[in-house]
Structure 1
């Protein structure tokens, strides 16, 4: 092996892979059998996280950054003047095994530009996973990026060797895709996602009848979309996410803020990167849809097409719906408890359990971990007091923001005092 050449390829193709954020190893439980190498049972050179919060290290690379398409938003588009490279199948296998044995990684995230055509590229991605599983007896985590337009046969085979599959829909709306990637068709993204969904369902049903049926994509499938490249509102982005969650049983939708890479007049100008705060608000909204029982139309609609930057979407909804509050913490159902700002899912579960044994007051809620600086404006408890007292939404918002700002300032002051004390001691 030419280590110098491999290292050069690794620098190019690992750097090109950094734009793909849909890298998660949660949800798989592939056990080590026959004294093989590694496993993916909750263990985690990018860092991802399992569902229980543990950090996982993955070798995250492209098979190649050559591409037959010229998407305006993509750094690897064919017209971009960048250094090109491509791994051989065996080179990726060797890198994965060598890094794993040195305890650098616990799995592989493999994506690729498209060279020749979709099926040719997908075959090579599958060949890597197949060699790892069958020849190296590798039981670590493997995430394959599915290629839009790949055949059903290849998608079926991919799921037999990979823990998770994902197809990036890239742009939230079909209109935006036609503007920035006219060579691509939205149908080519949908086809492999539908195939994976159906195969997962079929294999699960067969597994109930026959134990020897192989597992198929045990960590499910995910997707990613670029935010801010084609001018969509937050409502358009989240309506697309809600559709894909419902239609394809996705595990995750990832949101990647557009990073300006060219002077193409179809794109936002250089220097207008999407702020991280917008990504954060979209993820918060995504969380509310998946775990808090919200419908996307409650959070975003024609009247409110974009998320507020200064407050989170749950607080924003509560302030717009003060007529539904206050709720009694000792009587309200789980649905309404989950809608109270300052109460997370863990706090709500604790409240539901604790109130079976006693009526809860402010001190009990503090002990449970509720964020009362927010929640107190929307609830009553055994202490009965209610902090709203006919205040308007704007007044409550101002008080919460003022309180949050004061806490932040106090925290900074404490840190500065701590450093000052240390300096005095060292002097």
Structure 2
């Protein structure tokens, strides 16, 4: 067996980790390194960049413990039948790399996943050893995101949550039937059971009492748990993808569902499509997910703007819904409740909060809205203000053409 250098291992195992999209680090409780006497902070080849809700860019060392794997998932480059170069880090090597990258100011945390070696418990135990060593021995206070091996023991999952800021268990595909077909060693029930165990343990770890009207953060995995779905590897449409997401949010208290467009791999199975889906589909799913979580939409409403259960790729899902429901507009920005303002294309949550605050002091004009929103050309067709009414603009048959941005431009809402 050829002995690989640490640098070569890093090249192989960071490249192998790039297909996992769920490495955001928002929502964590800061570990105070000045109090623990440790190093690292969750603020401020193998490095990924994630963005917190406030816009901060957070850099993570993103690697696999190993790309050896006993599973043969058809969509995975690291499947057991894949002809890729294999490598494996020792626990000590991952710890050393993390500390060295942090001291050089390259990273603010670690994202660690792994192929399945020997057994689920063995793999999970090795990953837990990494994060426990970082926290206990080296007082590392940076952000840690740990992937969960679904059928590992409950005790290991709970211990993982003790040391990691976030845990994620990938649901992989939108339907159980697709997972059975493309990843026969994986059991959908085991994945959901792992999520349920983590959610229950996090709830049980929450201190009693409230802080500023909100529940205190959990002691286990304070940044919550997330998952990832591969989009375009099976025949599931966007409605099926979003229905699965909605059920996961409701049932397991997930912080995020990440969507990863299927990427064709060498020597691919005939069960897989020959080409990747358009990346714009992934972007539209993220926009739709945002509407489900923060704007009061349900799945049927979100996909109603497209056809055959697919989101409209040319138009963001909120605008697509508004164009299909023009009878609900215009909305009076000086009188409408928050839930109606959330339906207006071009108005985000923060802008709406400003509207609600400012209109207590004076009636809002279109110029006021223009100062608050960067998308006034989209907004004006769907609102009334003190000095503005859209008249027939809302019903104009050419409105869609006027509002659709050029293909190269992507915006949230």
* TM-score, reference length from structure 2: 0.92
State the Cα distance separating 1:39 from its structure 2 match: 2.2
Question: Kindly tell me: are residues 196 and 329 of structure 1, through their superposed partners in 2, closer, same or farther at Cα, counting changes over 3 Å?
Answer: same
Matches within 5 A, 1:310-329: 310-329=314-333
In the alignment, the residues of structure 1 paired with residue 127 and residue 403 of structure 2 have an alpha-carbon distance, to the nearest angstrom, of 50
Q: Aligned-pair distance for 1:308?
A: 0.4
2:278 is the alignment partner of 1:275: yes
Indicate conservation of the 8 Å contact 1:388/1:396, yes or no.
no
Q: Does 1:87 align with 2:89?
A: yes
Partner of 1:417: none
Within-5 A mapping of 1:2-401: 5-28=5-28, 29-32=30-33, 33-40=35-42, 42-43=43-44, 45-205=47-207, 215-261=219-265, 262-269=267-274, 272-300=275-303, 305-389=309-393, 391-392=395-396, 394-401=397-404
Which has the larger helix fraction? 1
Query: In 1, Cα distance between the equivalents of 2:408 and 2:55?
Result: 26
- 2:36 counterpart SS class: coil
Shift of residue 406, structure 1, vs aligned partner: 12
Return closer, same or farther for 1:149/1:390 CA change in 2, 3 Å cut-off. closer
Query: Which structure is larger by alpha-carbon Rg, 1 or 2?
Result: 1
Q: CA deviation at 1:293?
A: 1.4
Instruction: Render the CA deviation track for 1:300-354: whole Å, top value 9, x for unaligned.
Output: 2696511001100000111111111111111101011111011111111111111
| TM-score in terms of structure 1 length | 0.89
Q: Partners in 1 of 2:204 and 2:338 — Cα distance?
A: 33
Report the Cα distance in structure 2 between the residues aligned to 1:379 and 1:326, rounded to whole angstroms: 5
Task: Note the aligned Cα RMSD (angstroms).
Answer: 2.1
The number of equivalent residue pairs is: 396
Contact 1:160–1:214 under 8 Å retained in 2: no
What SS class does the counterpart of residue 71 from structure 2 fall into? Answer: coil
Displacement after TM superposition at 1:130 (Å): 0.5
Distance 1:406 1:372, change over 3 A: farther
Separation of aligned partners in 2, 1:227 and 1:273: 9
**Residue ranges of structure 1 left out of the alignment (5+ in a row):** 409-427
2:18 aligned counterpart, secondary structure: helix
Secondary structure of the residue aligned to 1:159 is helix
Q: Quick one: distance in 1 between partners of 2:408 and 2:59?
A: 34
How far is the alpha carbon of 1:369 from its aligned partner?
2.1
Aligned counterparts of 1:372 and 1:46: Cα–Cα separation in 2 = 34
1:265 match: secondary structure:
coil
Residues 326 and 395, structure 2, Cα contact 8 Å, conserved in 1:
no
Structure 2 residues not aligned, in runs of 5+: 211-216
